[in-house]
Amino acid sequence: MNAPFQFTAQATEDLDAIWWFIAGDNREAAERVEAEIVAACRRVANHPLMGTKRQDITLLPVRF
């Protein structure tokens, strides 16, 4: 199952900034980091209830 997801414009800018920051030292590392971020987003899209609630941190309905 591959649930669709998309980055907001701000998220895309942030991802690009992260890539350029790392690529200044190591382009291959920048590619790996970007791939891991995209993979993590894909996992969350496919399993939106993964993680645990931390009501000791926040009462908002978010997971960690």
| Tokens standing for residue 11 | 């998220």
Q: How confident is the model at residue 58 (pLDDT cuts 50, 70, 90)?
A: very high
Ranges of each domain in the chain = 1-64
d(CA 57, CA 30): 32
Helices (H), 1-64: 9-23, 27-46
Q: How confident is the model at residue 4 (pLDDT cuts 50, 70, 90)?
A: very high
Domain covering 1-64, topology = YaeB-like fold (3.30.2310)
pLDDT above 80 (res 1): no
Collapsing DSSP states into helix, strand and coil, what is residue 52? coil
**Higher-scoring residue by pLDDT: 32, 3:** 32
Q: Closest Cα to residue 38, out of 16, 64, 62?
A: 16
